Amino acid sequence: MIPLAFDYARPDTLDDAIALLAEKGEDATVLAGGHSLIPVMKVRLGAPEFVIDIGRLAELDYIRVEGDEVAIGAGTKHRDLVTSEVLGAEVPLVPAVARTVGDPQVRARGTLGGSLAHGDPASDLPAAVLALDGSIVLRGPRGSRTVGIADFYTGVFSSVKEPDELVVEIRLPRKGDAGWAYEKFTRRSNDWAIVAVAVCDGKVGLVNMGSTALRATATEEALTAGKSIAEAAALADEGTEPPADTSGTPAYRRALVKVLTRRALETAAG
Protein backbone atom coordinates (compact mmCIF):
# COMPACT_ATOMS: atom_id res chain seq x y z
CA MET A 1 0.00 0.00 0.00
CA ILE A 2 0.98 3.66 -0.24
CA PRO A 3 0.30 6.52 2.18
CA LEU A 4 -2.65 8.84 1.92
CA ALA A 5 -1.91 12.37 0.69
CA PHE A 6 -0.36 14.76 3.20
CA ASP A 7 1.25 18.20 3.37
CA TYR A 8 4.95 18.48 4.18
CA ALA A 9 7.27 21.09 5.67
CA ARG A 10 10.96 21.09 6.57
CA PRO A 11 11.57 23.94 9.05
CA ASP A 12 15.01 25.55 9.23
CA THR A 13 15.21 25.87 13.01
CA LEU A 14 13.97 24.09 16.10
CA ASP A 15 11.87 27.13 17.07
CA ASP A 16 10.20 27.04 13.66
CA ALA A 17 9.46 23.33 14.07
CA ILE A 18 7.86 23.84 17.48
CA ALA A 19 5.80 26.77 16.24
CA LEU A 20 4.58 24.74 13.27
CA LEU A 21 3.72 21.77 15.48
CA ALA A 22 1.71 24.04 17.78
CA GLU A 23 -0.08 25.60 14.80
CA LYS A 24 -1.07 22.33 13.14
CA GLY A 25 -2.04 20.58 16.37
CA GLU A 26 -3.10 16.94 16.31
CA ASP A 27 -3.26 16.89 12.51
CA ALA A 28 0.56 17.02 12.41
CA THR A 29 3.24 14.44 13.07
CA VAL A 30 7.03 14.65 13.19
CA LEU A 31 9.48 12.91 10.87
CA ALA A 32 13.09 12.39 11.96
CA GLY A 33 14.72 9.22 10.61
CA GLY A 34 11.41 7.83 9.39
CA HIS A 35 11.87 4.20 10.43
CA SER A 36 8.89 4.31 12.78
CA LEU A 37 6.60 6.72 10.95
CA ILE A 38 6.93 5.73 7.30
CA PRO A 39 6.05 2.01 7.70
CA VAL A 40 2.94 3.00 9.68
CA MET A 41 1.91 5.47 6.98
CA LYS A 42 2.52 2.98 4.17
CA VAL A 43 0.02 0.51 5.58
CA ARG A 44 -2.31 3.37 6.60
CA LEU A 45 -2.29 2.60 10.30
CA GLY A 46 -1.43 6.29 10.58
CA ALA A 47 -2.61 9.04 8.26
CA PRO A 48 -1.28 12.44 9.36
CA GLU A 49 -2.47 15.43 7.37
CA PHE A 50 0.80 17.32 7.92
CA VAL A 51 4.35 15.98 8.27
CA ILE A 52 7.03 18.15 9.87
CA ASP A 53 10.53 16.98 8.91
CA ILE A 54 13.13 17.70 11.62
CA GLY A 55 15.68 15.19 10.33
CA ARG A 56 18.16 17.84 9.16
CA LEU A 57 18.11 20.16 12.17
CA ALA A 58 21.75 20.52 13.24
CA GLU A 59 20.53 21.86 16.59
CA LEU A 60 19.43 18.33 17.51
CA ASP A 61 22.59 16.51 16.44
CA TYR A 62 25.31 16.48 19.13
CA ILE A 63 26.96 14.42 21.86
CA ARG A 64 28.76 16.28 24.64
CA VAL A 65 29.71 16.07 28.30
CA GLU A 66 27.97 18.56 30.57
CA GLY A 67 29.03 18.27 34.20
CA ASP A 68 28.10 14.84 35.57
CA GLU A 69 25.98 13.99 32.53
CA VAL A 70 26.30 13.26 28.83
CA ALA A 71 23.85 15.27 26.70
CA ILE A 72 22.73 13.72 23.40
CA GLY A 73 20.68 15.62 20.85
CA ALA A 74 17.47 13.86 19.90
CA GLY A 75 18.43 13.96 16.22
CA THR A 76 21.66 11.99 16.75
CA LYS A 77 21.76 8.97 14.46
CA HIS A 78 22.24 5.43 15.78
CA ARG A 79 25.40 5.23 13.67
CA ASP A 80 26.86 8.19 15.55
CA LEU A 81 26.00 6.62 18.88
CA VAL A 82 27.99 3.56 17.84
CA THR A 83 31.10 5.51 16.82
CA SER A 84 31.10 8.21 19.52
CA GLU A 85 34.31 8.30 21.58
CA VAL A 86 32.50 10.30 24.27
CA LEU A 87 29.83 7.64 24.72
CA GLY A 88 32.39 4.86 24.53
CA ALA A 89 34.24 6.41 27.46
CA GLU A 90 31.32 7.68 29.56
CA VAL A 91 28.32 5.39 28.88
CA PRO A 92 29.58 2.42 26.81
CA LEU A 93 26.25 0.62 27.15
CA VAL A 94 24.70 3.03 24.64
CA PRO A 95 27.03 2.32 21.68
CA ALA A 96 26.82 -1.40 22.42
CA VAL A 97 23.02 -1.34 22.29
CA ALA A 98 22.87 0.99 19.27
CA ARG A 99 25.08 -1.45 17.38
CA THR A 100 22.30 -4.05 17.58
CA VAL A 101 19.60 -1.80 16.09
CA GLY A 102 18.53 -2.93 12.62
CA ASP A 103 21.18 -2.93 9.90
CA PRO A 104 23.67 -0.29 8.67
CA GLN A 105 21.02 1.44 6.56
CA VAL A 106 18.67 1.74 9.54
CA ARG A 107 21.45 2.96 11.82
CA ALA A 108 22.44 5.60 9.27
CA ARG A 109 19.01 7.28 9.42
CA GLY A 110 17.26 6.25 12.63
CA THR A 111 17.60 8.67 15.57
CA LEU A 112 17.82 8.21 19.32
CA GLY A 113 15.05 10.74 19.95
CA GLY A 114 12.77 9.08 17.42
CA SER A 115 13.27 5.67 18.99
CA LEU A 116 12.50 6.97 22.47
CA ALA A 117 9.52 9.07 21.36
CA HIS A 118 7.98 6.16 19.43
CA GLY A 119 7.92 3.99 22.55
CA ASP A 120 7.89 0.51 21.05
CA PRO A 121 8.30 -1.95 23.98
CA ALA A 122 10.41 -4.17 21.69
CA SER A 123 12.86 -1.35 20.96
CA ASP A 124 16.41 -1.63 22.30
CA LEU A 125 17.36 1.90 23.31
CA PRO A 126 14.52 2.77 25.75
CA ALA A 127 15.59 -0.10 28.01
CA ALA A 128 19.22 1.02 27.82
CA VAL A 129 18.31 4.58 28.83
CA LEU A 130 16.16 3.10 31.61
CA ALA A 131 19.07 1.02 32.94
CA LEU A 132 21.18 4.19 32.93
CA ASP A 133 18.59 6.23 34.88
CA GLY A 134 18.50 8.73 32.02
CA SER A 135 16.09 11.58 31.42
CA ILE A 136 14.36 13.12 28.41
CA VAL A 137 14.15 16.84 27.69
CA LEU A 138 10.88 17.96 26.07
CA ARG A 139 10.35 21.34 24.46
CA GLY A 140 7.14 22.99 23.33
CA PRO A 141 5.49 26.41 23.10
CA ARG A 142 5.38 26.62 26.91
CA GLY A 143 9.13 26.04 27.27
CA SER A 144 11.28 23.04 28.23
CA ARG A 145 10.85 20.35 30.86
CA THR A 146 12.83 17.30 31.86
CA VAL A 147 11.21 13.92 32.55
CA GLY A 148 12.96 10.89 34.00
CA ILE A 149 12.79 7.94 31.63
CA ALA A 150 11.10 5.88 34.38
CA ASP A 151 8.18 8.34 34.32
CA PHE A 152 8.09 8.94 30.56
CA TYR A 153 6.06 6.01 29.18
CA THR A 154 2.40 5.48 29.96
CA GLY A 155 1.69 2.49 27.69
CA VAL A 156 2.34 1.00 24.27
CA PHE A 157 3.47 3.82 21.93
CA SER A 158 2.32 6.41 24.46
CA SER A 159 4.09 8.77 26.83
CA VAL A 160 3.69 11.97 28.83
CA LYS A 161 4.88 14.00 25.83
CA GLU A 162 2.17 16.47 24.79
CA PRO A 163 1.12 16.68 21.11
CA ASP A 164 2.81 20.07 20.72
CA GLU A 165 6.11 18.98 22.33
CA LEU A 166 9.26 17.52 20.82
CA VAL A 167 11.87 15.27 22.37
CA VAL A 168 14.95 17.49 22.00
CA GLU A 169 17.61 15.93 24.22
CA ILE A 170 18.52 12.83 26.22
CA ARG A 171 20.65 13.18 29.34
CA LEU A 172 22.58 10.26 30.84
CA PRO A 173 24.64 10.10 34.02
CA ARG A 174 28.32 9.50 33.34
CA LYS A 175 29.04 5.91 34.34
CA GLY A 176 32.79 5.65 33.74
CA ASP A 177 34.00 2.19 34.73
CA ALA A 178 30.66 0.84 36.00
CA GLY A 179 29.92 -2.71 34.89
CA TRP A 180 27.49 -3.03 31.98
CA ALA A 181 26.16 -5.57 29.48
CA TYR A 182 23.45 -6.09 26.87
CA GLU A 183 21.93 -9.47 26.04
CA LYS A 184 19.52 -9.59 23.10
CA PHE A 185 17.74 -12.70 21.87
CA THR A 186 16.44 -12.69 18.28
CA ARG A 187 15.72 -15.15 15.51
CA ARG A 188 17.96 -13.18 13.12
CA SER A 189 20.52 -10.51 13.89
CA ASN A 190 18.43 -7.66 12.41
CA ASP A 191 15.15 -8.60 14.10
CA TRP A 192 13.34 -6.92 16.95
CA ALA A 193 14.23 -8.49 20.28
CA ILE A 194 12.10 -11.38 21.47
CA VAL A 195 13.54 -10.41 24.85
CA ALA A 196 16.57 -8.30 25.73
CA VAL A 197 18.22 -7.16 28.95
CA ALA A 198 20.34 -4.04 29.53
CA VAL A 199 22.44 -3.84 32.70
CA CYS A 200 24.53 -1.00 34.10
CA ASP A 201 25.81 -0.50 37.64
CA GLY A 202 23.25 -2.88 39.13
CA LYS A 203 20.27 -1.43 37.23
CA VAL A 204 18.38 -3.76 34.87
CA GLY A 205 16.23 -2.66 31.91
CA LEU A 206 13.99 -5.14 30.08
CA VAL A 207 12.91 -5.18 26.43
CA ASN A 208 9.59 -6.70 25.29
CA MET A 209 8.46 -7.82 28.73
CA GLY A 210 5.43 -5.51 28.97
CA SER A 211 3.66 -2.58 27.37
CA THR A 212 6.73 -0.37 27.92
CA ALA A 213 10.40 -0.79 28.67
CA LEU A 214 10.63 -2.00 32.28
CA ARG A 215 13.06 -2.10 35.17
CA ALA A 216 13.57 -5.50 36.81
CA THR A 217 13.08 -4.01 40.26
CA ALA A 218 12.88 -7.34 42.10
CA THR A 219 16.24 -8.32 40.64
CA GLU A 220 17.78 -4.97 41.57
CA GLU A 221 16.47 -5.19 45.13
CA ALA A 222 17.81 -8.73 45.48
CA LEU A 223 21.28 -7.60 44.37
CA THR A 224 21.18 -4.71 46.84
CA ALA A 225 20.22 -7.18 49.59
CA GLY A 226 23.31 -9.26 48.82
CA LYS A 227 21.67 -12.11 46.93
CA SER A 228 23.71 -13.98 44.34
CA ILE A 229 23.42 -13.21 40.64
CA ALA A 230 21.59 -16.49 40.07
CA GLU A 231 19.09 -15.74 42.85
CA ALA A 232 18.53 -12.18 41.62
CA ALA A 233 18.15 -13.20 37.98
CA ALA A 234 15.48 -15.73 38.91
CA LEU A 235 13.27 -12.79 39.91
CA ALA A 236 13.64 -10.87 36.63
CA ASP A 237 10.10 -11.57 35.42
CA GLU A 238 8.37 -10.33 38.59
CA GLY A 239 5.96 -7.49 37.84
CA THR A 240 6.12 -8.02 34.07
CA GLU A 241 3.38 -8.80 31.55
CA PRO A 242 5.17 -10.27 28.52
CA PRO A 243 3.23 -10.38 25.25
CA ALA A 244 2.14 -13.43 23.30
CA ASP A 245 2.96 -13.41 19.57
CA THR A 246 4.45 -15.58 16.84
CA SER A 247 7.90 -15.27 18.46
CA GLY A 248 6.92 -16.72 21.82
CA THR A 249 4.42 -17.20 24.59
CA PRO A 250 4.48 -15.24 27.86
CA ALA A 251 5.82 -18.33 29.65
CA TYR A 252 8.64 -18.64 27.12
CA ARG A 253 9.59 -14.98 27.61
CA ARG A 254 9.50 -15.34 31.39
CA ALA A 255 11.96 -18.22 31.21
CA LEU A 256 14.12 -16.44 28.66
CA VAL A 257 14.40 -13.16 30.58
CA LYS A 258 15.82 -15.00 33.60
CA VAL A 259 18.54 -16.59 31.48
CA LEU A 260 19.45 -13.34 29.73
CA THR A 261 19.46 -11.39 33.01
CA ARG A 262 21.86 -13.87 34.58
CA ARG A 263 24.17 -13.67 31.58
CA ALA A 264 24.08 -9.87 31.53
CA LEU A 265 24.75 -9.57 35.26
CA GLU A 266 27.63 -12.02 35.05
CA THR A 267 29.15 -10.08 32.15
CA ALA A 268 28.71 -6.76 33.97
CA ALA A 269 30.27 -8.19 37.12
CA GLY A 270 33.31 -9.30 35.12
> Phi, psi (5° rounding) for residue 71?
-100, 130
With 0-12 / 13-18 / 19 or more C-beta atoms within 10 angstroms meaning exposed / middle / buried, residue 253 is buried
Percent residues over pLDDT 90 in the chain: 88
Give the tens place of pLDDT for each residue, 30-47: 999 988 888 888 888 888
Rounded Cα distance between 120 and 126, Å, is 8
With residues binned 3-state (H G I as helix, E B as strand, rest as coil), the percentages for the chain, rounded to 5, are 35, 25, 40
Q: Which pLDDT value is given to residue 190?
A: 80
What pLDDT, on the 0 to 100 scale, is given for residue 26?
A: 85
What are the DSSP calls for 252-264, one per residue?
HHHHHHHHHHHHH
pLDDT band at 264 (very low <50, low <70, confident <90, very high): very high
Strand bridging mode 50-53 / 7-9:
parallel
Three-state DSSP state, 226: coil
Q: pLDDT above 70 covers what percent of the chain?
A: 100
What is the per-residue pLDDT for 133? 97
Distances in Å between the Cα of 44 and the Cα atoms of 2, 5, 37, 41 are 8, 11, 10, 5
pLDDT at residue 189, as a whole number: 79
Q: How confident is the model at residue 163 (pLDDT cuts 50, 70, 90)?
A: very high
244: left (phi over 0), alpha (psi -120 to 50) or beta: beta
Can you give the pLDDT at residue 191? Answer: 86
Structure confidence by residue, pLDDT tens digits, 82-139: 999 999 999 999 999 999 998 899 999 999 999 999 999 999 999 999 999 999 999 9
Q: List, in order of start, the domains of the chain with CATH numbers.
A: 7-52 (3.30.43.10), 59-173 (3.30.465.10), 180-269 (3.30.390.50)
- At residue 188 the predicted structure's pLDDT band, cuts being 50, 70 and 90, is confident
Residue 80 has pLDDT above 80, yes or no: yes
Q: How many CB atoms lie within 10 A of CB 26?
A: 9
